[in-house]
Amino acid sequence: MTGDKTATSRVSFHQERDQQSKPTPEQRSWLSRARKNQPQWNALGAGSLIFVSGGMSTAWGAGFAAHSMYTELLKRTFHMQICWYGAALLGAVISAILTHRTPQRPVYVLSSCLVLICGMLYLTLPEQPNAIIAARYLDGFANGLVFVPTLTTVGELSVCEMRGVFSAALEQMSYNFGIFILLIYTAIWESGWNVTVVADQAHGLLSIIFGVVALALALTCCVESPVYLLLRRSEQAAVDALRHLQRPFVVTCETFLLLDEHKRYVVANRGLSWSQSIQQGLVPLLKIVAHRSLCALSLTPIVWRALYETAVGLTPHFHTWPYAVFGTLRWSGSICVVFLMDSGGRKKPSLFGTFAGGVFAIAFASLLDRVPRLISALIILFFFQFFAGVAHAASAVYLTEAFPLTFKPYFVALVYIIELMIKMVFCICTPTHTDIALYFYILGGLSFSFFLLGIFCLPETKLTTLSQAQPKIRKWFNEDF
């Protein structure tokens, strides 16, 4: 009798596991999957809001701070521009050392508080240059501090069928939303509306809101990565973390299936020596650095100068609508493809956006070289920004999938540091009309080169586990679409 009961319980367990592993019509619905896995987004929501604040600061440093009382100071000195990038670089170095060694919650809490203090400085001391510089240092350090753990663990916290959406929305869409916000209120302050609040105070108020909400999410919704807990040999804690990452918050057969997958991922990476881990990370590093470098080049002070030079003669209210359209289209490009990352894939949007961006970059350069201040050149520049948003949304997904576990935080930090250094270099440039045209010719050429190489070298990793995605990314040639 006892044996029959045991056999019956085993059969029922396997039947339950098979039933839960089969995709039901409800599970196949994107909205139902999103609701089920929403706790995974909530766990990293603090990082998303900090990135929104970082997007505002990035656009501010790229030259779009025409609303600010420090416009002239920005033209005379580049300290106020580059301080954010330098602080973010330092934060990335520190967080690379801490990731997978310490819990995430204290990092998110500290970074949220730094963003909150940054906003208070903008709000209370808008006329003090040193206060604005200090605020930019704090915001940059907060962004660098959360970038590495967030992009390292988003792939570990999310299920494979939602990893693309969460990664791209968390980083690229958040940064572009921050850029959009800054350009929109830039348009408001420069349109001649009767606004009594100083524009930098609006920046501070928004940063305070993002900081407060990020702090609340960090304190209430942050869940440690199951991979981090398994590395500390805390299997029960990993099960509890997985339980909190999906609705309903109960342990099911799917919980143990996910735990087994994380175990295999940890065991496979633990078996690699340091030299093997570095060797396996070099090819993905080259691919992702190329991708992220194009992303960095799509929004620099030269791009802002191109917008200004093209549109300044078209309307007396230049600072109103071109800035708003510019920011709206960049953010819209991200939105158009972010929610297709796990159905349409990562490779196709990246290649299509890069090719189209290259076409518009060269078209803009040729028009600017012949006939400055042409309305068609301005429209082409708008489309270039739209396809920049399309092209680089998947770069965040590849970043969280690419590298071996042992050195993953260091590789993620290295990619981010290279991206920051590219942006810093262009902060010290004062481009002429010819320099702007040359910049877009080169950018178009680099985009076409990435497109051609990406056809053969860029992998498609949709609906794969991290263990399956890594070998695909480290191959030199991938023919899959």
Give long-range contacts, CB 8 A cutoff, 24+ apart: 288-291: 288/395, 288/398, 288/399, 288/402, 288/415, 289/415, 289/418, 290/450, 290/453, 291/350, 291/392, 291/394, 291/395, 291/398, 291/450
Does some domain include residue 117? yes
| Domain at 449, CATH number | 1.20.1250.20
Residue pair 150/222 in contact by the 8 Å Cβ criterion:
no
CA distance 169 to 337: 10
pLDDT score for 142: 96
Does some domain include residue 387? yes
Angle at 216 between CA 150 and CA 132, to 5 degrees: 75
In angstroms, the first-to-last Cα distance of the chain is 55
Does some domain include residue 44? yes
CA distance 316 to 38: 46
Does some domain include residue 124? yes
pLDDT score for 67: 64
Could you tell me the two tokens for 463? 């609906």
Q: In the 8-state DSSP scheme, what is residue 125?
A: -
Could you tell me the two tokens for 182? 């800054």
pLDDT score for 313: 65
CA distance 55 to 180: 8
Residue span of the structural domain in which 58 resides: 34-223+271-474
CA distance 153 to 405: 10
Does some domain include residue 239? no
Per-residue pLDDT of the chain (481 residues; tens, 9 = 90+): 444 434 433 334 344 444 444 444 444 576 777 788 888 888 889 999 999 999 999 988 887 766 666 556 665 567 888 899 999 999 999 999 999 889 999 999 999 999 999 999 999 988 888 898 999 999 999 999 999 999 999 998 998 888 999 999 999 999 999 999 998 887 776 555 566 677 788 889 999 999 999 999 999 999 888 999 998 888 888 888 888 888 887 888 888 888 888 899 888 888 788 888 889 999 999 999 999 999 999 999 899 888 888 877 676 555 567 888 999 999 999 999 999 998 888 999 999 999 999 999 999 999 887 765 678 888 999 999 999 999 999 999 999 998 999 899 999 999 999 999 999 998 887 888 889 999 999 999 999 999 999 999 999 999 898 888 988 998 888 766 5
Q: Residues 247-278, buried b or exposed e (16+ Cβ, 10 A)?
A: eeeeeeeebeebbebbeebbeebeebeeeebb
Place of tokens 């997904």: 397
Element (H, E) at 458: none
Does some domain include residue 231? no
CA distance 74 to 72: 5
Beta-carbon contacts of 355 under 8 Å, excluding residues fewer than 6 positions away, are 447, 448, 451
Residue 233, sorted as left (phi over 0), alpha (psi -120 to 50) or beta, turns out to be: left
pLDDT score for 28: 53
How many domains in the chain? Answer: 1
Does some domain include residue 479? no
Closest CA to 16 of 210, 265, 253: 253
pLDDT score for 3: 44
As a dihedral over the C-alpha atoms of residue 193, residue 117, residue 109, residue 246, rounded to 10 degrees, the angle is 0
Residue pair 141/90 in contact by the 8 Å Cβ criterion:
yes
Kindly report the pTM of this predicted structure. Answer: 0.89
The 10 Å Cβ neighbour count of residue 184 is: 14
Beta-carbon contacts of 55 under 8 Å, excluding residues fewer than 6 positions away, are 174, 175, 176, 177, 178, 179, 180, 181, 182
Integer CA distances (angstroms), 105 to 361, 400, 423, in order: 42, 19, 29
Could you tell me the two tokens for 207? 């940063």
Element (H, E) at 62: none
Could you tell me the two tokens for 199? 């524009």
Does some domain include residue 263? no
Q: In the 8-state DSSP scheme, what is residue 403?
A: S
**How much helix, strand and coil, in percent to the nearest 5, is found in the chain?**
75, 0, 25
Closest CA to 44 of 199, 151, 132: 151
DSSP 308-348: HHHHTTT-TTTTTHHHHHHHHHHHHHHHHHHTTTTTT-SHH
CA distance 440 to 366: 9
